[in-house]
Structure 1
Amino acid sequence: MKHQAIDELLFGKIRPQKPPKKFVLLVCALLLLTIIPLYYPSICRSLFVSKTIYSNPLVPSPSSSAQEEDLPSITSNLKCDIFTGEWVPNPEAPYYTNKTCWAIHEHQNCMKYGRPDTEFMKWKWKPDDCELPVFNPAQFLELLRGKSMAFVGDSVGRNQMQSMICLLSRVEYPIDVSTTEDQRFIRWKYTSYNFTMATFWTPHLVKTKEATYTDGPTKTGLFELYLDEFDEAWTTQINEFDYIILSAGHWFFRPMVYYENRKITGCNYCLLDNVPDLGKHYGYRKAFRTAFKAINSLENYKGITYVRTFAQSHFENGIWNEGGNCLRTKPYKSNETRLEGLNLELYMIQIEEYRKAEKEGRRNGLKYRLLDTTQVTLLRPDGHPSRYGHWPNENVTLYNDCVHWCLPGPIDTWSDFLLEMLKMEGMRSAEEKKRLISRDRRSN
């Protein structure tokens, strides 16, 4: 009724009479609130960010007597490990469906293809020592107004981007502004926020060729990885981006031949004569090392690189091409399973190479952050499409998918993490500014 009354006042849906003083003041206030954002959008954005920071109960709000330059201090929330915790029920989820979001890839559209259970969509992550808010699409878009974000990696990275598009669809859908017809390189723009999101397909992160001289031992192709050469399909494109989400993993399980200095140095399960089998971990380490070298060597890139850690598959009773499947319908508790074997080794390689890159990048003024999804997704064997990514009677050879994630599903939580990390970034910047101000005062 209040909105109706205001509409009537503004649009003259009452009989003409001399406007009372309160009416004039109301109209003036509304006009000011309309005009100011148009001419001074930065003011509104800064107010929004301030509200975001101070809305956290762990972040003290400045007192009324505080000086203008006073800023919030580092809080325990910044020191909380948001990646250690448990999955807890969330009856309010999901926040979109396969009918409300067109961005879901067919093979991850589990509800469309008949998955009978729905509980896998109704969980959220609860860190041990703090709270992780559920993704707020309006807040995310406002924080990234005028910014750009690139997902660099394989189809799981694309899966993550499609999840984010679906979560943001409650506020706005993007338009396709891709510069190529190649679906491996897609750009989306949220016009109301001038926010661009892109995906760069690079499953091995480095320069790669699929060899023609053999199908490989698993009949999936034998890939040639040039472990010391940049994949220019993405390394020449990311200068313009403010944020990069870098990830890779499952393609390193395939047969590969490793090249360094344009010469074969080894392979992973290639079964070629006189070529030593160096294993998956060798190529994985070298690929991340080269990817980080590419980022740190860019002259104009000033963005933040988020390294998303390995999200393992959940095949049981066989591997992917030998009848393996994932039929569980609820999460593990943290004490019911653990990361081990090759999956643990790949995760540790990422951590080790990330730390080296972060140290090197810091010297060049670049920022790296760890988006640690490994433990979080280890506990979700119930979140994969399995056989529900296609119709059961399709006349094609399709394997059970225990690698990608149903949408809606557990991968939506990765956006919870990302938004929280973006807010933490604002807190860190505020704290850094506060330290600089304090140092300047002491020096004066």
Structure 2
Amino acid sequence: MQRFRNRKYKSILPIALATLLILGTSRLVFDNLKNNKRVSIFRWRDWLEGSRFHSYIVNVFENEDDSNDNYEDIEDCNVFEGKWVFDNVSHPLYSEQSCAYLVKQVACQRNGRPDDLYQFWRWQPNECNLPRFNAIKLLKMLKNKRLMFVGDSIQRTQFDSMVCLLQSAIPEGQKSLTKVPSKKIFFAKEYNATVEFYWAPFIVESNSDHSTNHTVYKRLVKLDQIANHTKNWEGVDVLVFESYVWWMFKPIINATYGIPNDVKEYNVTTAYKMAMKTWANWLESSINPQFQKVYFMSLSPTHLWSSEWRPGSEGNCYSETEPIQGPYWGMGTNMEIMRIVQETLENVKIEVTLLNITQLSDYRKDAHTSVYTERKGKLLTKEQRADPVNFADCIHWCLPGLPDTWNEILYAHLLQDLL
């Protein structure tokens, strides 16, 4: 039996939100919270423990030489339930200095962030341990394969994290990073393996499909059109999808369906459901589950209102240095969207693994780029940093940081699915 609970959404001004996220390719925000309608909240624990997404997570204790690994199968371990543990021994998994591919937007220390505690938190599931990330092992699993992240700038950060996790294990001259319109491609020569990012903020086609030259305010989504994207996904061995924040700019969105020039206004959740159906139809017609693996990242939460975790305050994620302790669902998590994802993955006729990083990320109010980031390719000015109410980015995440945990969880599933 699925369980639901209710909550109210806050209101927020679109202009104030828009100023948060016009940062080069996607400084996007939430205006969806304007009404006071009560929406039902899907309790993910019940679904994740359902038969379809039951899985055995592999706990790997690896030797330095990677030659005599011991594998311990942990039955019924839900890696998405647990707590954050401060660990300055094993974390962070890399440093800003050690990853030459790290982009300025998320390099918070380089950008002047005075604290570094956000780098030292390790996710500890309640019933098992995540396997220690082993770059060589993953590269071997990806030999002659393509791993592609598909989505918006949140997904691009997960790609950047994965590149930083892998690159130190590859000698100079044996690795490269290339950029082409809407794509970033990291190549490991010895393994003939690529880790790629493909820009598709709505998954389906839209007027925002150019990775740098796109509109933020006047969004138009083609709910039944996806072919221009899928030609880039054909034959990819491991696909990791994500799509959320671009949908949440306003409660309604301009879109077409069926007739290319017939633009109508759709409720965002209705449009999202239609787009997910288009995506699911492509999966069923194009994915060979014997050779291809498909994952979907659940939504990445925001921390726009400090009053949620510190009653009476009027700030946001700025100056936060520790995770939220205990159960917490923030206003930046749209449960209708989460339920649509659930329903889509339950009904699609091929296996798609949900990586439900939402609640574990919801605790991490401390991990955002805040004012230690860039706008339109330039670091925030001193004056802008002094105005965190308008300029703190409480949507994107610092690296090293939280997205590394997302990749640790993805790695655990890849151990299960590719070995």
TM-score, with length taken from structure 2? 0.72
Amino acid at match of 2:81: T
Q: Tell me the equivalent position of 1:315.
A: 304
Of 370, 375, 386, the residue aligned with 2:359 is 375
Deviation of 1:345 after TM superposition, in Å, equals 1.8
Deviation at 1:333, TM superposition (A): 2.2
**CA–CA separation in structure 1 for the residues paired with 2:116 and 2:245:** 27
The partner residue of 2:166 within 144, 165, 168 is 168
Change over 3 Å in CA distance of 1:175–1:326 after alignment to 2 = same
Deviation of residue 348 (structure 1)?
Answer: 1.7
Q: Which residue of 2 aligns with 1:441?
A: none
User: What are the residue-to-residue correspondences of 1:219-368 with 2, within 5 Å?
Assistant: 220-232=216-228, 234-255=229-250, 256-262=253-259, 264=262, 266-267=264-265, 278-298=266-286, 302-316=291-305, 325-335=317-327, 337-338=328-329, 343-357=334-348, 360-361=349-350, 367-368=351-352
Instruction: Give CA deviations for 1:16-60 in whole Å, capped at 9, x if unaligned.
Output: xxxxxxxxxxxxxxxxxxxxxxxxxxxxxxxx99954xx13x3xx
Judge conservation of contact 2:223–2:257 (CA < 8 Å) in 1: yes
Q: Which residue of 2 aligns with 1:86?
A: 83
Aligned partner of 2:113 in structure 1 is 115
Change beyond 3 A, Cα 1:353–1:396: same
Structure 1 stretches of 4+ with a deviation exceeding 6 A read 394-398
How far apart are 1:156 and its partner, in Å?
0.8
Change (3 A) 1:96 1:426: closer
Matching residue of 2:22: none
Write the distance in 2 (CA, Å) between the matches of 1:324 and 1:259: 35
Q: Secondary structure at the match of 1:375?
A: helix
CA contact (8 A) 2:373 2:380 kept: no
Aligned 8 A contact 1:153 1:204 in 2: yes
Identity of aligned residues (%): 26
* C-alpha RMSD of the superposition: 2.9
Is the CA contact 2:146–2:238 (under 8 Å) kept in the aligned structure 1? Answer: yes
* Pairwise CA distance, 1:265: 6.8
Asked whether the equivalents of residues 296 and 352 of structure 2 are also in contact (C-alpha less than 8 Å), the reply is yes
Q: TM-score, normalised by structure 1?
A: 0.68
Partner of 1:414: 406
- Alpha carbons of 1:220 and 1:419: their partners in 2 closer, same or farther (altered >3 Å)? closer
Q: Which has the higher strand share?
A: 2
Distance 1:138 1:342, change over 3 A: closer
Could you tell me how far apart the structure 1 residues matched to 2:196 and 2:206 are? Answer: 21
Letter in 2 for 1:260: Y
1 or 2 for the larger relative contact order (CA 8 Å, sep ≥6)? Answer: 2
Return 5+ residue gaps in structure 2 as ranges: 1-64, 210-214, 308-313
The whole-number CA distance in structure 2 between the counterparts of 1:341 and 1:191 is 40
Q: Which has more radius of gyration? A: 1
- Whether the 8 Å CA contact 2:317–2:368 is kept in 1: the answer is no
Task: Report the structure, 1 or 2, having the larger helix content.
Answer: 1
Q: Specify every segment of 5 or more residues in structure 1 that has no aligned partner in the other structure, as ranges.
A: 1-47, 59-74, 212-218, 268-277, 362-366, 428-444
> Is the 1:347–1:374 Cα contact (8 Å) retained in structure 2?
no
Q: Work out whether 1:151 is the aligned partner of 2:149.
A: yes
Deviations 1:77-130 (A, max 9, x none): 142111111111111211222211122221111001111111110011111111
